[in-house]
Structure formats: C-alpha cells, structure tokens
Chain A
Amino acid sequence: MAPNSQGAAYSAGTPAPEGIDLSERVSRTSSDRYMPYLLGAAAIFSGLVVTLLIVFVVQKAWPVFHAEGWRFLTHGGWDTQLEDAWDPAGRAFFGVKQLIAGSVFSTMGALVVSLVLGLGCAVFVTELAPSWIKLPFESVVQLLAGIPSVVFGLVGLMVVVPFISDHVVPANIGDIVPEIPINGSSLLAGVTVLSFMILPFFVTVAADSLRAIPRSYIDGGLALGMTRWRTITRIQLPAATPGLIAGLVLAAARGIGEAIAISMVAGAIAFVPTLQHGPLYMMLEPIRTMASAIVENGGEAMSVPAIAAALFGLATLLLLFSISLSLLARWSFSLFNRRMGIVTDRSL
C-alpha cells in the first residue's frame, strides 16, 4: 500500500491527496552539502594551530625542564639567574618559584576583590537596580572589559602606585622591612589594577547566571513569606553558585595571563611576599609574575638559549594554568546547567 506520486489507488482505491511530492528539488541544497566540509576544515585548521602552538612551546621549554627538573618550580632566584645566564662561561640555572608566587598571589588577591565588588554589582544590576540605571551601568562594566591593559597599567602607575607610596607606605618602612626596597610598586598595586581588569569578566558571567535563575524560584520564595533580599541570599545565590564559580575561574584565567599592567605597577622584582611582617607589609612588597617576566625579557635576552628555554618554561606553566582553569570553568558550567534543569550533552 505504498503511496505513489501518481496519486493512484493508495488506500482502498481512494486517490491520494494532490500536491505532495517528496522528490521535489529545493534550492540551496548544494550549500548544505559543502558547508560541513568548509566549516569542518576551518575547525580542524584552528585545532591544529592550537595543538602545534602547545607542541612548539613545550618543545622549546624542554631544555630547561630537562636540566632543572622539579627545581624549576621549587627554587627561586630568578633576577640573579637572569644576569648569570648572560655569562657564557657560567652554568645557567633557573628556578621560578617567586614568579609562580607572584602570579598566584596577585590573581588570588584580585579574585577576592572582584568577588566582593562583582557580586554586589551583579546582584544590583540583575535584581535591584531600576531599569533606567541598569543599561548604562551594564555598559560601563562591559566597557571596562574593552580597555587595553596598557591603559590600566598607565593609570595604575600614575595614580595607584603614587597613592600607595604617599598614603599607605609608612616613612620608617626601611626599618620594618629591611630586606627589600618598598616604594609603592607592590602586590597591593598589582591586585588593585588587576581587580578592575578582571571585574567585568566576573560580573558579566555572574549577572548572566543570576538572570538564568527561573522566575518561579523567586515566586516560590516570596510565596513562602521570604523577603526579596532573603530570596536573593537563600535561593538565588546558592542556585547560581556554580555559575559564579565559572565566572571566577574565567576571571582567574584572564588575571593569570595578564602581563603588561602588572609589570608596570607591581615592582618587577622576583620576590615571594611573606606574612613575616604582617599582612599589610606583605601587600606592600613587590612581585613579578610569570607573564610579566616573559614580556620583560622577551626581547634581546631570547638570544641566550638558556633564557629562551626558561621563558618558554614559564609559557608552558601559563598554558597549564589556563587549560586547567578552563576545564574547571567547563565543569562548573555543566554543574550549573544541570542545576537549572538544562540537560545538555553539547556543553561547550
């Protein structure tokens, strides 16, 4: 009883309905046929470039890993090692402990600041702000994301560093912290500048995850007699937590890779700030981060093979950091989606 295109007897002798032709040609099918190949080629090309880049960086870094092993991570002395490495007779030796500490401290500090500020911004803009404030406010926050990092660095250098030097650093600092010159270029300056650089990344993701909370949760809370503020703190923020974590992780990835601005304001001295003199003085001590070490020495020093290998070693560490951070972000996004009832196996 298969229907046929002639419309002849198709069921108990009645004619089939007219006007349905399944073999009809539809235009544009050719682009449907070629597009997958074209787009596939573009995707494979991009993937290949990224893979080659990783292979290239790791291969260039290999000499330093081979020579130093774990000491590369556990030993310090970067600044003097750099000078020693110029001496062709001397044996080059590298340990980047202080640079890792610089990157981790500055990024963690900035994360804490932008978590507090950003959460406030995100809740304000999604839940509390009247609509006439919302739009300009969000535009300003997003604009922050577009400011080139060198501009942040410049403002930091001209405003933040002098301010810290004049108003925060005590006059007798040399007696309190004798081991290192303290002049305003510091972890504190780095954290301050970095906080505003990564803030928009966190606020954008945090606001999006708060907005993704279904209105029905809020209504459910209100109907139980919760105040608007209680629904935010007891229902919306807990529900949005994985999204907030994802936002923090993205901000961390942005922060850990930041080179220029940090290099301009944080002192550019490979030093591990310690709590030895208390938290304030720890924040006033200078740092140097992995990314800024690369940008500061990436020029002529690259002609020395040992320095080049050490810088590629830093690049490898940065890659490892950012890959693990992006995996973490993915994981928390999928957790968030599952919590929101968005079940997807296409999570990106």
Chain B
Amino acid sequence: MRVDDAMLREDPTMSDTFLTADPNDTFSMLEGMLATAAPRVRSTDVPSVFEVRALDVSYGSKRVLHDVSLDIPEKRITAFIGPSGCGKSTALRCLNRMNDEIPTFKMRGKIRLAGQDIRGKSVNVTALRRNVGMVFQQPNPFPMSIYDNIALAVREHESRIARSTLDGVVEQALRHASLWDEVKGNLKGSALSLSGGQQQRLCIARALAVKPAVIMLDEPCASLDPISTARIEELLLELSADYSIVIVTHNMAQAKRISDKVAFFLMGRLLEMGDALQVFEAPQRQETAEYVRGAFG
C-alpha cells in the first residue's frame, strides 16, 4: 500500500464543500456527500487518546470480544465497522465503562485513556464519562426542554454555575452541534418535539456541553434520514478538529465518508485496523475485503 504524502494532507476541496454548503439546500448537501464518497485522507500518525490492550469481554459464559488491542488517534475520526453482533458496540461501551451496568459483564485487559488505566482504583466513573461523551443509536433527549437537556448535563458537573454563565454554555454547545439557529427561539420548548435529526444533534450538544475529550457515537444515524445523516456527518467532521471521535457504524459509505482510521471487527475479534484509505482500498485480510465490498454483513 503506497500513500503519497500529498494525499495525507487534508483535502482542501473537501472541507470547502462543507463550509460553503447551505445546510438547507438539499442539493448542495448531497453534492457535499458525493465529494467525500472516496476515503478521506488525514494523517493518523498522531498521539493516541485511548490505548486498548488484550481486551477480553464476556457476558456470563458468552465470550464477545477476544484479545482486542487498538489505539484511538487524537482528534481524528475512528470508525468501528463490522456485521451485527461482531462486538463493535461492546468494544465502544468498554471505553466509558457503560458495560459496568450489566451484571454479567466481565472483562480482562487494559484500557488507558491519556495514559491512565480507566479501571484503576482511583478512577471516578463520573469523571471518566465526563471526559468520554457518548451518543446512542436512538436519539435520547430527556423529556424536558431543549435548554434543560443541556443545563442538566452541565449542572451535574458544575452545580454552582451562575445562570448567566449557564446560558452561555448552553448556547455554545448548541452552536457547536450546529443546532442553535434552529432552536434559539424555542429553548423552552420540549426536546421531544424536535425532529429525529435535531434530537440527535441535541444529544451531541449535550455531550459537548460537559467538555469531553472523546465523543463516542454508537450508530448515531441508524434511525435518521439521509439529509439528517449528512448533517451529522458534516458536524462530526467539524468537531474532529477539537475532539477525538469514535463512531460505530455498519454503513460502509458513512465510514468511507468520514473516518480517518477504521477498525474491522468480526465475530468478536479485531480483524484489521488501519488508515481508512488502506482498509477500504487495500484491505489486508480476505474477510475485510469481502465485507467492505458488501459481500456479507
């Protein structure tokens, strides 16, 4: 696999398309999607935010992950791909210890976030999850106002925050999630009255509001229409300048459009991991080639 140095630099035409695209113009958005249909190229030779070593996971007697070791690059988009039940969501949920909620969950191996063992004795799960935000497959805004959805998250970590400061944090989070212009007149309205795509961006805003380092998304577009999906992808590309992003998806096209690094899971094993271009264009394993080609899954 040869990759030109020029290709490793960020493709300027691509990001221009996203900056100039009018979000309300379907055509230019779809054009934007087409512009990124080929794997994007951005160097993944950057420090790792997460280091996973020899991760074994089982639920009761059922083994779901075998000896997974991987690195998540900082301020890049890493995609976990693979067919249903391959363990990609489980791997994701290990990173913020969401699996701890499941009584039968057992794991072995090491997971380090910024060099610190996330299962260490001194680790506070609350602090871990504040640093590692998560967005779910089904948009899950809380049944309260748009404002309160974000304020609740902020107050959880800064209980004495002044109202005026809080207003600013809420606005900034909504702006980062490119939702502000759509909801600024209706902050007191119910979050449940938003469309599915808006709800998902609200969930992203909620995750951003507590200033995480990593944002994990578990099939965030699975229940969304193509336009909403395009807006989320555009948003993730923007956010990847400041945040490390891990996305689970079984949408190959999506992984191609947005990811810098790809991890291919199959039956609980990490079969292949590499730069997006390499995995999609020159996979090293037969199974990867068949999967990215659409032969199964």
Tell me if chain B binds chain A: yes
Could you tell me which A residues sit within 8 Å of B by CB distance? 214, 216-217, 219-227, 230, 234-235, 238-239, 339-341
Q: Verify if B101 is at the interface (C-beta below 8 Å from A).
A: yes
User: How close is A220's CB to chain B, nearest CB, in angstroms?
Assistant: 4
What B residues does A234 contact at CB under 8 A?
Answer: 152, 156
Q: Are B156 and A220 in contact (CB under 8 A)?
A: no
Q: Quick check: is B277 within 8 A (CB to CB) of the other chain?
A: no
Question: Would B142 and A223 count as touching, CB distance under 8 A?
Answer: no
A223 in contact with B134 (CB, 8 Å): yes
B297 to chain A, nearest CB (A): 25
Q: Which of B134-156 contact A (CB under 8 A)?
A: 134, 136, 138, 140-144, 152-153, 156
Within 8 Å by CB of B153, from A214, A216, A217, A224, lies A224
Give the distance to chain B from A129, nearest Cβ to Cβ, in Å.
13
Q: A292 vs B130: C-alpha distance in the bound complex, in angstroms?
A: 58
Q: Which residues of A contact B98 (CB under 8 A)?
A: 219, 222-223
Q: Is the CB of B192 within 8 A of A220?
A: no
Q: In the bound complex, do residue B127 and residue A225 qualify as a contact, i.e. CB atoms below 8 Å apart?
A: yes
Establish whether residues A239 and B125, one from each chain, have CB atoms under 8 Å apart when the complex forms.
no
**A-B contact sample (15 more), CB < 8 A, given A224-B130, A224-B210:** A216-B138, A220-B140, A220-B142, A223-B96, A223-B133, A223-B134, A224-B133, A224-B152, A224-B156, A225-B129, A225-B157, A227-B126, A234-B152, A234-B156, A239-B144
Q: Contact: B143 with A340, CB < 8 Å? A: yes
Task: Please give the residue numbers on chain B whose beta carbons come within 8 Å of chain A beta carbons, in ascending order.
Answer: 96, 98, 101, 125-130, 133-134, 136, 138, 140-144, 152-153, 156-157, 192, 203, 206-207, 210
Cβ-closest chain A residue relative to B127 = A225
From DSSP, what is the main secondary structure of chain A's interface residues? helix
Give the residues in chain B near A220, CB-CB below 8 Å: 136, 140-142, 203, 206
Interface of B is mostly: helix
Residue from A219, A225, A238 within 8 A of B140 (CB atoms): A219
Residue in contact with A230 in the complex, picked from B127, B156, B192, CB distance below 8 Å: B156
- Residue of B whose beta carbon sits closest to that of A228: B101
- Nearest B residue to A221 via CB reads B142
Q: Pick the contact of B129: A223, A339, A341 (CB < 8 A).
A: A223
A291 nearest CB across to chain B (Å): 37
In contact, B192 and A341 (Cβ under 8 angstroms) = yes
Give the residues in chain A near B143, CB-CB below 8 Å.
217, 238-239, 339-341
Shortest A239–chain B CB gap in Å is 5
Q: Are the C-beta atoms of B206 and A224 separated by less than 8 Å?
A: yes
Residues of B within 8 A of A217 (CB): 140, 142-143
In the complex, chain B residues whose CB is within 8 Å of the CB of A216: 136, 138, 140
Which 9 residue pairs spanning A and B have beta carbons closest together?
Answer: A216-B140, A225-B129, A223-B134, A225-B126, A225-B130, A220-B140, A339-B143, A239-B143, A224-B153
Chain A residues with CB under 8 Å of B141's CB are 220
Query: In the assembled complex, which residues on chain B have CB atoms less than 8 Å from the CB atom of A238?
Result: 143-144
- B224–chain A nearest beta-carbon distance, Å: 15
A227 to B97 alpha-carbon distance, docked (Å)? 13
CA distance A235 to B151 in the complex (A): 12
Could you tell me the distance in whole angstroms from the C-beta of A246 to the nearest C-beta in chain B? 16
Residue of A nearest to B149 (CB): A220
In the bound assembly, the distance between CA atoms of A219 and B142 in angstroms comes to 11
Q: Nearest chain B CB to A74's CB is how many angstroms away?
A: 42
Q: Is the CB of B142 within 8 A of A222?
A: no
List 17 A–B pairs whose Cβ atoms lie within 8 Å, in order of A's numbering.
A216-B136, A217-B140, A217-B143, A220-B141, A220-B206, A222-B98, A222-B129, A223-B133, A223-B207, A224-B153, A225-B156, A225-B157, A225-B210, A226-B156, A234-B152, A238-B143, A340-B143
Whether A239 contacts B134 by the Cβ 8 Å rule is no
Cα–Cα distance between A224 and B143 once the two chains are bound (Å): 16
Bound-state Cα–Cα, A306 to B101, Å: 67
Q: Is the CB of B140 within 8 A of A214?
A: yes
**Assembled-state Cα–Cα distance A348/B12 (Å):** 59
Residues of B contacting A223 with CB < 8 Å?
96, 98, 129, 133-134, 136, 207
| Alpha-carbon separation in the docked complex, A230 to B143 (Å) | 16
**B93: min CB distance to chain A, Å:** 9
